[in-house]
Structure 1
C-alpha cells in the first residue's frame, strides 16, 4: 500500500484537491482548487511542498486550459503562457514548476476549445507518469549506494524520492534518522510519518542535533533530495542541508544528494534564485525579526554523490549525464 503522501495532489476533472501538508498528519484535510490561481496560491502558502507543486502545476495548467475554452487558439495560448508564468513564480528555487508547465504544454499545437483542454490533459498525464518513473529509477540507484544494514540521516521531506528509495531498499535493514526541519517541520511530520507508514525504523531529532549525531559513528550516509543541482555540482536544498553536509564531510560520512537530473539552465549557483520567505514564519513577536532563507547551497566539495535517474555521478562530472543521452 502506498503511503498517503505518495498521492497528495489529485485532479478531479473540474478541480485540483491538494492534501494540506501544513497540518498533516494531525489532520488529513484537502484544499480544493477550482482555478489555476487557486493552485498558485496553494503552492505559495505551503499547502504542498517538494514534488507536490510539480503535480499541482500539471493539473493547474489543465484548469487554465478549461478557463481558456472560449478563446481562439492564439489568445488561448497566451493565456496558458501567463498561467505558466504565474505558477513558476510561486517558488522559483526548485525547477519542478518550470518542468511541469513545459510538460503540460508539450502536446499543445494550435488547438482551441476542448481540443486544447485535451492536449494539456494529455501532456499533464504524461508528465505525471514520467516523474513517477524517474523517481523510481532514482530510488533504485540510491538504494544501491547504501549498506545492507545501517543508518541513514535525512533532512526535510524528499517526497517520492524517499518513498521509492525505501521501496527499492526492501530486503535491506535500514534505519532512518530525520531532522525535524524548522520551521514547517517537514521532517518530523512528513518524512517520519511516511517512513513509519512504510514500516521503517524511524527516529526524529531536532535540527541542532545533526552534527552531534554524525560525529558519533552511527550514521552510514547522509541522504537528501535536492531542489536543484547546478551543472558545476552545487546542491540547492532546504535550509539546513549545508550544515549537515559540512558536518558529514568532517566526520567521514558520505553525502548522497538525490535529483532526477542536473539543471542545464543553471551552470553555477549564481543561476539559482534563493527564495526568502516571510520571517514571521520563523518567529512572529513584536520587536524581533525572523529571517527565513528557504534554501541553502552546498558546494560540491561537501557532496559525495549526485544520484540521478541515470545513476550516480561525481559532482564534478555532471555534464556526463547529458552526453550519455545526446
Structure 2
C-alpha cells in the first residue's frame, strides 16, 4: 500500500524496467524468460486489478522483447513506454475532468471517495478553469486514510474548502450539509455497467440514491471486463485490527477486510470519460470510434 490509485500503474511499468536492469547480464533467452515472469508476478499481485496491470506489463514486455532482439537497451524502451503512458493518462484525465466539472453546479458541495489520483488534481484545475465555487467533503477511507491523507490534502493545496469526515458520517453529512453530487474514480469499469472501487463506494452510492444525490464515476471503460470476471481482493485482517500500529481490540477478535466492492449500474447516474458522459448501460458506445491506447 505504498502507492495508491493509479500510482501502481506507473510502478508496474517501472518495475518492468527494474526487471530488465536486473537481467541485463543474462542471455537474450534468459532475459526474456525473466521479463515474462516479472510481467506475470507484477500483473497478478492484486487480483482485482489484474486486467489493467496486464495491459501495462505485457506492453512493456512486448517492447522489451523487440529491443532485446534488436540489441537495444530494454530498460530505456520500457522507461520510455511508461513515461508515454503517464503523458497519455494526464492528457485524457484532463478531458475527463472537463466533462465531470461541467456537471457541477456553479456553487456547490461535492462528496468524494478514497483517492482517484490523476483525476483529483485535474478536477481541481478544471474547477478553476470553469470559474466554479466548489466545497469538498472527503470520507477518510479506513484503514489507510487515502481520503484524508491524499484527496483532502490535494484539494486543500489547490485552494478549495475541504472537510474530512469519518466513513460512518456519510448519511448524516449528506442530509445536513446539502451535498450536490458524489463522484469517485473506479479500479474497474465493467462493460455491463458495474464498477469496482475502494470498499465503501457501494454504501455511499446507496445513500446517494436514497437522498437523490447523483453519482458520477470517472474513468475509461475496461473493454471485455464483466462483473462475473471480478475477484475481490481480501487483505490481511490485521490491517483492520490495528491503527497506526496500535491494536484497537482484544486478542481473538476476528476481522474482515475486502479491499474493494462492486456498485451496480442502477446506482450510477453516468460514467464520465474523456469522450463524453455515458450511461452505465451503454458503455459499448465508447468503443464504437477509434480509441487511443490508455495504459
Flag whether TM exceeds 0.5 (same fold). yes
Aligned partners of 1:101, 1:226: CA distance in 2, in Å?
Answer: 20
Aligned partners of 2:252, 2:283: CA distance in 1, in Å?
Answer: 46
Residues 1:273 and 2:231 are matched in the alignment: yes
1:140-181 CA distance string (max 9 Å, x none): 111111111110000111111111011111111000000011
Give unpaired runs (5+ residues) of structure 1. Answer: 1-45
Q: 2:175 maps to which residue? A: 215
Q: 1:311 maps to which residue? A: 276
> TM-score, structure 1 length as denominator?
0.81
Alpha-carbon offset, residue 188 of structure 1: 1.2
Q: Contact 1:104–1:127 at 8 Å: present in 2 too?
A: no
1:70-111 CA distance string (max 9 Å, x none): 233333222112111111122221344223313433533433
Number of residue pairs matched by the alignment: 279
Match of 1:91 among 46, 71, 88: 46
Residues 1:76 and 2:31 are matched in the alignment: yes
Residues 1:162 and 2:127 are matched in the alignment: no
Give unpaired runs (5+ residues) of structure 2. Answer: 243-249
Residues 1:262 and 2:221 are matched in the alignment: yes
Aligned partners of 1:103, 1:147: CA distance in 2, in Å?
Answer: 40
1:243-273 CA distance string (max 9 Å, x none): 00011011111000111x1111312x12111
Which moves more between the two structures, 134-143 or 97-106? 97-106
Which moves more between the two structures, 154-163 or 99-108? 99-108
- In proportion to residue count, which structure has more helix? 2
Consecutive aligned runs of 4 or more in structure 1 exceeding 6 Å deviation: none
RMSD: 1.6
C-alpha distance 173-238 of structure 1, shift in aligned 2 (>3 A): same
Residues 1:173 and 2:133 are matched in the alignment: yes
Alignment of 1:227-242 (within 5 A): 227-242=187-202
Residues 1:48 and 2:9 are matched in the alignment: no
Match of 1:118 among 59, 66, 76: 76
1:219 partner SS: coil
Q: 2:155 maps to which residue? A: 195
Aligned partners of 2:216, 2:182: CA distance in 1, in Å?
Answer: 6
Which moves more between the two structures, 68-77 or 107-116? 107-116
Aligned partners of 2:35, 2:95: CA distance in 1, in Å?
Answer: 31
1:8-54 CA distance string (max 9 Å, x none): xxxxxxxxxxxxxxxxxxxxxxxxxxxxxxxxxxxxxx111111111
1:107 partner SS: helix
> TM-score, structure 2 length as denominator?
0.90
Alpha-carbon offset, residue 184 of structure 1: 0.8
Q: Contact 1:58–1:127 at 8 Å: present in 2 too?
A: no
Alignment of 1:50-69 (within 5 A): 50-69=5-24
